[in-house]
Amino acid sequence: MSMRVRALSLIIATILLSVPASVLAIPSANFYGEDSEVYDDWDICRTNAAGLNGFFILSAEADFQPIIAEESLGENADVAYRMGVQFAAEYPDINQRAEQIFSFVRDSVRYTTDKSQFGFPEFAQNADELGGTVREEGIAYGDCEDYAVLLAVIYKGAGLRSAIVLTSDHAAALVYLPEYKKASRILSVAGEPGWIWAEATGSNNPLGWIPEGYGEKVIEVREVENKALIAGDPPDKESITVTSKGGGGGGIPVPSFVTVIFIMWFLSLFRRRRRG
């Protein structure tokens, strides 16, 4: 590793450790704590998108991969995937199907920061957790990456190709609809046109609408594959019973998603300079 890369890693580590702590707001026995982070049964870090165990594997050493989606795909397919199967049965036209899925997620999830909902600057929900809340309560709460993961998994269950895209400060889903005519812009993934931006975070957004300037801010994109994340043996760790936000006590210092995305944007500039 070069001196420049080591120096950059030190800067990133300093930024990550400087973010304040808080307390989780949902009860669960499926998490454990290690190195000031919260992990789930798949050993995926829910409080950090970065690193080889981060829920998006944002790392200078590995390609971007929205690994948390694999907790709800393949052999792990459950609530969210079945929602997609149901949409496929109800809407044989793929464009209408994609619109109905988009409207369902947009209207069933309310945008809420993790700080407000959980007390953490970041806490990623997988698609079945968010979809299960919608099924049981009629409404759920999440932030941009939660919307993106839920949309991507439901689309896969509905037989559509999907992807997750990152900008310098945001995450969204893409769906492959080469014949769709209503989008404000058609995007390409790996040189393949026909991808439509699915921005469900606004209550009035239509499928295919892109926030101004965001089409030019993309730094990472990855198509979601219908494969399962394989769980190993249960970790020999004491499980964390998380308490409500009002429960008091100290928390775990974690970086916000926006902070991590900014770091990845900075890394992308660094990589381009090295390749130039």
| pLDDT tens readout for residues 113-161 | 988 888 888 999 999 999 999 999 999 999 999 999 999 999 999 999 9
CB 49 within 8 A of CB 56: yes
Side-chain half-sphere exposure of 245, counting CA atoms within 13 A: 11
Distance of CA 125 to the CA centre of its chain: 8
Average pLDDT over residues 8-18: 43
Could you tell me the two tokens for 262? 């900014």
| pLDDT tens readout for residues 40-50 | 989 999 999 99
Spatial distance between the Cα atoms of 236 and 163, rounded to a whole number of angstroms: 34
CB 156 within 8 A of CB 84: yes
Spatial distance between the Cα atoms of 197 and 152, rounded to a whole number of angstroms: 11
At residue 60, the pLDDT reads 81
- Terminus-to-terminus CA distance in the chain, angstroms? 19
CB 7 within 8 A of CB 60: no
pTM above 0.85, yes or no: no
Which residues, other chains included, contact 263 with Cβ-Cβ below 8 Å and sequence gap of 6+?
A: 12, 15, 50, 58
Q: Can you give the C-alpha Rg of the chain in angstroms?
A: 18
Spatial distance between the Cα atoms of 11 and 150, rounded to a whole number of angstroms: 33
Q: Nearest CA to 47 among 14, 63, 24?
A: 24
